[in-house]
């Protein structure tokens, strides 16, 4: 039996979206939370291929140009360093392609983007029981413990948003609008 070929990494294309969505759902299943994953092909297409995307993606493809892994990411910003960085939202490699270097190459591609653009860091989170911790340590990634992640969602998010509405500080009604160039934050 021959080992699979080393995958190629390239930016995601519209025709890759169905495979990436399927892999996002595979990842949710792997992380024991399939009921929480609602991503659709239409949503991901809209997020990745709008005129000013806030989400970016790369795929690892096999010798037939079929996606076998992906990385979805967006820019963050360090106010202390004064530069952007990359936040890796999801990295996934299908089980049959694990061990081919696909995960390392996806991360290396994002690291290269950081270096070429002058970004100082590549950040991500992973579930605490994921065996990928050993892989991440092997490439020099360090687990941070001094920063504790927080999340505001669901009813608590809506309740806090109501405070902006009742205080008269609502910043506009355009869905998806991100403040920029002097807009209120």
Nearest one of 111, 106, 10, 24 to 66, comparing CA atoms: 10
The first and second tokens of residue 71, run together, are: 């990385």
Enumerate the β-bridge partners of residue 84.
Answer: 77
Helix, strand, or coil here: 144?
coil
Is 136 part of the annotated catalytic residue set?
A: yes
Query: Beta strand 56-61 with 8-11: parallel, antiparallel or unpaired?
Result: antiparallel
**Alpha-helical regions (H) of the chain:** 17-30, 41-48, 102-117, 132-138, 154-167
The first and second tokens of residue 128, run together, are: 């605490």
Identified catalytic residue from 30, 119, 136, 150: 136
Enumerate the β-bridge partners of residue 74.
Answer: 87
CA-derived radius of gyration, the chain = 18
Answer for the pair 58, 67: CB distance below 8 angstroms, yes or no.
Answer: no
Active-site residue set: 136
């Amino acid at each position: 039996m021959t080992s699979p070929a080393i995958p190629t990494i390239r930016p995601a294309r519209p025709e890759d979206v169905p495979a990436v969505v399927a892999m996002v759902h595979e990842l949710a299943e792997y992380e024991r939370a399939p009921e929480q994953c609602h991503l659709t092909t239409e949503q991901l297409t809209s997020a990745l291929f709008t005129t000013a995307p806030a989400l970016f993606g790369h795929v690892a493809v096999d010798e037939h140009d079929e996606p076998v892994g992906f990385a979805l990411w967006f820019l963050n910003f360090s106010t202390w360093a004064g530069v952007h960085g990359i936040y890796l939202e999801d990295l996934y490699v299908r089980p049959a392609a694990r061990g081919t270097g696909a995960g390392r190459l996806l991360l290396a591609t994002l690291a290269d983007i950081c270096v070429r653009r002058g970004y100082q860091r590549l950040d991500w989170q992973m579930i605490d029981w994921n065996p990928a911790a050993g892989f991440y340590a092997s490439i020099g990634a360090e687990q941070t413990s001094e920063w504790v992640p927080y999340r505001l969602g669901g009813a608590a998010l809506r309740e806090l948003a109501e405070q902006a509405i009742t205080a008269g500080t609502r910043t506009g009604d355009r869905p998806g609008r991100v403040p920029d160039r002097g807009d209120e934050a």
